[in-house]
Amino acid sequence: MSRSWSCNARRGPDTAPRHRRDPGTGETPAQERPESPESTVKPVFSPSGPTARELAVQALSSVERGYDLLAPTFDATPFRTPEEVLGPVVRALGPLGPFRRGLDVCCGTGAGVAALRGLCPERVTGVDFSAGMLARARSAVPAGPATAGPSVHWVRADARELPFAPAFDLVTSFGAFGHFLPAERPGLFAGIREALRPGGLFAFPLPAPPPVGSRLHLALWAFDAAMRVRNLVWRPPFVMYYRTFRLADVHGELRRAGFSVELRPLEELGRRPDGSPRCRLVLARGPA
């Protein structure tokens, strides 16, 4: 944990700082009060982002509790799926419709739900197991009788045990698969298939892995290694791994769950120097 401290040179009695007091209350004005150590903790990522201490507390919590704590500042972190990804996904999905009802799995603060409102004219649902994230989503995504567009609904549930009958034409998820261990994915995919109407579509973007030996590859490897050590020595576990969601494995798991699978490059996100797409859209179609 890092913390920024305000350090002053030592003063003698005659050079101690003197603060004016409000004649009505006798209190020192707030702008002249000495800083407490807590007030000097600096935010990470942006001025409205979480502090390093808050991130440390989150990392030592369970996944659910951690996201409850992070919810108020989540949108000011790079963990939120950016519009630069959401937009290309929505535009690629548009010609594959029509979709009447959409579901975003592990919806967080609602970025994916907001994107689906332009694709699903009847109803859009977000599901997450963090009450804090859902509360933030409710305040962030416009909904209600006075709002044009589909009805918006929020459901608190574990994505591994989705409580839905076949009701959706489109299911999406953005950036959440690192929270599921490989052994949990078959059940996750089976639950998503069961939430889809016959012939419904499960779609999600999947970035290409960084080149082996690159700075990003080493950083993600180090993060996953640190997380594995953390989960060996600390309870409750916090499941978040960047290198366990491999395309070849996922492709086979989706097929075994009953999906037909197609991969499409998201050309708006560009290509790597070797010509391969930086990000693919995985399209898993349920049985008709």
Residue 147 scores a pLDDT above 80: no
Question: Percent of the chain, pLDDT > 90?
Answer: 69
For 272-288, what is the mean pLDDT?
Answer: 96
Residue type present at position 112: G
With a CB cutoff of 8 Å and minimum separation 6, the contacts of 222 are none
Burial 257-266 (b: 16+ CB within 10 A, else e): bebebeeebb
Is the confidence at residue 105, as pLDDT, over 80?
yes
Nearest C-alpha neighbor of 159 from the set 101, 104, 222: 104
218: phi > 0 → left, psi -120 to 50 → alpha, else beta; which? alpha
Contact 132, 71 (CB under 8 A): yes
Amino acid 146: pLDDT: 58
Element housing 171 (H / E): strand 168-172
| Calpha distance 61→173 (Å, rounded) | 23
Structure tokens at 19: 């603060």
239-246: average pLDDT: 92
With a cut of 80, say whether residue 21 has pLDDT above it.
Answer: no
Average pLDDT, the chain: 85
The 10 Å CB-count burial string (b at 16+, else e) for 219-234 is ebeeebeebeeeeeee
Mean pLDDT over 97-113 rounds to 97
Highest-pLDDT range among 19-23, 31-35, 236-240 = 236-240
